[in-house]
Structure 1
Amino acid sequence: MASAVPHLPQEIINLVIQELSDDRTTLKACSAVSSSFREPAQAILFYSITISFPSRDNKRNGELLAILTAHPGIGSYVRWLGLYLEDSFTAGFFASLLRRFSNVGGLRLISVYPLQKDWAILSGPFKAALLQLLCLPSLTRLDLDYPDFPFPYLRFCSRLKHLVIHQCVYDNRLQLEDTPEPALVPLLSAAGWPNTDGAQQGFLESLDMGTWYALRQVLAAVQHPSSMLSLACLKTFVGKILEERDIIEIQNCLALSAPSLRKLSLHVSLSESLQRYPTIPKHSPRCSRLLHKLCRRHFFGLMLIFRLLSGRWASLYPMLSLQPLAALQFLHFSFCLDVVLAAHASTWVCGLLETIPMHNVLSTIVITAPVLFNVDIVDWGRIDFLSSRECHRTTLRCVCIAVAERMEPLVLERMPHLSEKNMIQFLGRGDGEVVGRMLSGLK
């Protein structure tokens, strides 16, 4: 029967397998046909793997190790690896499993018990295997949802292009180690880690940060004398501004990446203002609901009060300067949903827009505004004026705005300069995916 089957070019087989990428049952059947079907089918089947904590998946992990041991080539098909880490990763079994993955392009580390400091309780062999993964030449993306990750080791990830940090344990010591933990040195040296060849220095292209203390540790790692990773070619930065220290660390990051930065996205809340400064009234969720009701009934009076107060509150914070970012092309702001904080953040953002350099290439501004009944928290008129200045006359092409549909006529009315030039584009409330594509460079 096998001789009766006509020979198909490998290119056609690859296309057929690619079309079946969502049908895992058929792919498994194809992998048993012949070697010409097996390799492309297995490359899709094993492309993404998540290893969960042992209490649930001991048997499954054992089967996976058996497969990778019997067929070492399969480990090279794994391009995206997710690891749920906990203190049960102490046996050599898990270190052996990690060493089977030789071609990982994206790695996500997730803590089973968030906000715990649990790096110290992981076994030495497992840490060594994990750090070897971090230094794979193929690894270009690291997604950290592991609060106790040892940030000093980032300086050895010379091939890393994209770094996302979801959470981080606050540590006021922030001491950078010059050498790995003593117990790991022999294991890592035997594996040729780290590579100290200066010619191998890599450049991070995108950085997505959640907290100022995580960003401070990343900056300390890349500025270390022995660092093999640099921010000199950073193209995209995504960050949150919740308090003064966020502004300071983001400014430090922008200083390192100013010549290359093309896209900047900031979620502006400044929520710590309510706790840090006695001049700003503290309010409970019940008080917020009352403010919303008052805004619906006494819109213009309360808006005037919010604008006056927000100017005073915003002045309590240092201003993030965009002056060095002459290459910036894309700028995105999003505001929190709290009525008081959004007014505060809006005033701060207007001050930020004033720092855009006279000679710039900024072509797109995106604003995600809060939806609070019919309340217009954002100072659209001021943004309209700042976006219509002479410095934007030849470069700015579009101002994209995400608001509730009922707010769109009001926005157009309050932004006459941009409206007249047909430069306003409404994204609707489902803007997350659109903004994500813009940040990643997709149309």
Structure 2
Amino acid sequence: MAASVLHLPQELVDSIIEYVGDDRSTLCSCALVSRSWLHSSRYHLFANISLSPHIQGNIPPQQLCAQLYGVLQESPAIVPYIRSLQIFDGGLPPHRTAQWISNERTLPPLLKLLTHLRQLELSASSACNVIQWKSLPFTLQNAICTLLKLPSLTYLRLHSWTFPNLASIAAVLSSCQHLKCLSLSAVAVCEDLDNTHHSEPPDTIPNDEFSSGSDTANTRAPTPSLEVLTLDYVNFGYLGYWLFAPPSPISFSNLRELRISHSADPLVVEQILLSIGPSLEHLHLKPGSWDVFPFDLRNNLNLKSLRLTLEVPETALSWCTTLLSSLSPSGFLNSLTHISLEFFTDLKRLSASSPSTTTTVSPSTSPYHVPLKQVDIGLFAQPSHPDFVRVQEALGGIQKNDLKGSGAVRVYQLGLKSQRSFGRICGPRLRSFEGNN
């Protein structure tokens, strides 16, 4: 008798393949089992594509780019499975500063093939390497902006970029009509003095910066309504003007999550918080070398979590007490349930230059009258450090009834993967922008 073939239910097949979704070699084997296994295998195998010099095998990223372009030309059915793309400009060791995206001819046509992309990251692979928008070939500029116009694209991250003027960065972001999450990291603008007046930045977008086909210099795309915005090390002239002068490059009306690290200045940040208003739910501030500034959060009525990361010992505790004191009047933040205070600094210097950490986190100076469920105190020190112990002892005096329900106060060591703050509750939660799997 002929041996019977075992047919598994498709739901079970999908569960099996999802279980091995992080093992690429196993996924390749699963794709060869049968036609019923092919779709789920490709779904996980091609979900995230990285063109980086740091992947296993030390294959040059330009070679990976050419190989991927060849595969998609031969098998266009794979295109819908590619939902996330990371491009890192740079070379293999020891030539990490070698740039390749400007010279790789297959990159522009490859980008135009990716019609189902949801997440895009364009970064330099090392701190010594910066992507100059003005130096990119027009074909690549055009391909990038075509990609940004995709209705499916909801997340964009630009890291280590330099734009010649405000008009050029506005032109790029104006293509992102459907964007929900924007992350700018180490982005600089070098004002072109020939085209930019000192008194007022330009408000027109040059056609040759990004346009193609029917686009004109006076045509402005709808402003993307973001839900998540991250500004890390974004410091350039006229930043406030660029964000708020009409027409604004983004809309703050639906912003739920905001992270600002070593960027802008307190006055611009205050204006951002005011513009966001009650839609803001998660706020992460990393002020760096700013002077202590008393932010007014009364307009952000639906704030659920507040995270403050402090690195300068001379101002760390003053920042902490000033921001926490802004929460105490009137009890307007009825939705605030999580607070995280992270001290990335030497505790010996912290103790010597400021009031004791114990005083800062004591119940009398912390807003425990709001419905908090979790308070995290992160210290860059060993748990045996005297100040670490003192903070733990001080927080031990906070009774359970000071926090709602099963609330908890936790002191943890920063810098350990196993000792993280409350998830990434204050950071861009990319999964919420991936849609249905």
**TM-score normalised over the length of structure 2:** 0.75
Q: Residue 323 of structure 1 corresponds to which residue in structure 2?
A: 298
Q: For the structure 1 residues 435 and 342, does the alpha-carbon distance in structure 2 shift closer, same or farther, using more than 3 Å as the test?
A: farther
- Given that 1:91 and 1:123 are in contact with CA atoms closer than 8 Å, whether structure 2 keeps it comes out as no
Contact 2:123 2:131 in 1 (8 A): no
Aligned to 2:23: 23
Name 1:179's counterpart in structure 2: 205
Counting matched residue pairs gives 383
Aligned to 2:338: 364
Tell me if 1:161 matches 2:132. Answer: no
> For 1:83, what is the secondary structure of its paired residue?
strand
Q: 1:247 to 1:97 in 2, by over 3 A?
A: same
The change in CA–CA distance for 1:143 and 1:128 in structure 2 (over 3 A counts) is same
Is 1:81 matched up with 2:85?
A: yes
Structure 1 residues 233-242 or 166-175, which shifts more? 166-175
Of 111, 120, 123 in structure 2, the residue corresponding to residue 98 of structure 1 is 111
TM-aligned CA deviation for residue 74 of structure 1: 0.8
1:84 deviates by 2.4
Which residue of structure 2 aligns with residue 128 of structure 1? 142
> Which shows bigger deviation, 119-128 or 174-183?
174-183
The aligned residue for residue 315 of structure 2 is: 344
Whether contact under 8 Å (2:324, 2:366) holds in the other structure is no
Question: 2:235 aligns to what?
Answer: 213
1:411 to 379, 387, 391: 391
Larger radius of gyration: 1
Alignment-derived partner of residue 333 in structure 1:
308
User: Is it true that 1:138 corresponds to 2:123 in the alignment?
Assistant: no
Cα displacement string for residues 129-186 of structure 1 (whole angstroms, at most 9, x for unaligned residues): 1111112111111121132254312133122122222211243568456335427423
The alignment status of 1:12 with 2:12, answered yes or no, reads yes
Contact 1:269 1:342 in 2 (8 A): no
Q: Is the 8 A contact 1:233 1:257 kept in 2?
A: yes
**What is the alpha-carbon distance in structure 2 between the residues aligned to residue 373 and residue 225 of structure 1?**
46
CA contact (8 A) 1:332 1:366 kept: yes
Root-mean-square deviation over aligned CA pairs: 3.6
Matches within 5 A, 1:165-314: 165-171=184-190, 175=201, 178-182=204-208, 184-187=210-213, 189=215, 196=221, 202-213=224-235, 217=239, 220=242, 224-225=246-247, 227=249, 229-241=250-262, 245-270=264-289
Give ranges in structure 2 of 5+ residues lacking alignment.
Answer: 90-98, 404-408, 432-437
Post-superposition shift, 1:234? Answer: 1.0
Which residue of structure 2 aligns with residue 438 of structure 1?
A: 425
- Which residue does the alignment assign to 1:384? 362
CA distance, structure 2, for counterparts of residue 2 and residue 56 of structure 1: 50
Task: Tell me, in whole angstroms, the C-alpha distance in 1 between the residues paired with 2:175 and 2:123.
Answer: 21
d(CA) in 2 for partners of 1:44 and 1:219?
Answer: 43
| 1:92 Cα deviation from its structure 2 partner | 4.5
Amino acid at match of 1:400: D
CA separation of 1:262/1:78 partners in 2, compared to 1, >3 Å: closer, same or farther?
Answer: same
Is 2:35 the counterpart of 1:35?
yes
SS of 2:271's equivalent?
Answer: helix
Give the deviation of 1:382 after TM superposition.
4.2
CA displacement 1:28-70 (0-9 Å, x = unmatched): 1222233221121112111111224799244433222111011
Q: Which residue type is aligned with residue 81 of structure 1?
A: L
| 2:369–2:402 CA contact under 8 A, matched in 1 | no
* More displaced 10-residue stretch of structure 1: 4-13 or 162-171: 4-13
The 1:255/1:422 distance shift into structure 2, 3 A limit, reads closer
CA contact (8 A) 1:388 1:418 kept: no
Q: Conserved in 2, the CA contact under 8 Å of 1:240 and 1:246?
A: no
Q: Tell me: CA distance 1:261–1:426, structure 2 relative to 1, closer, same or farther (3 Å).
A: same
Q: What CA distance in whole angstroms lies between the structure 2 residues aligned with 1:183 and 1:399?
A: 47
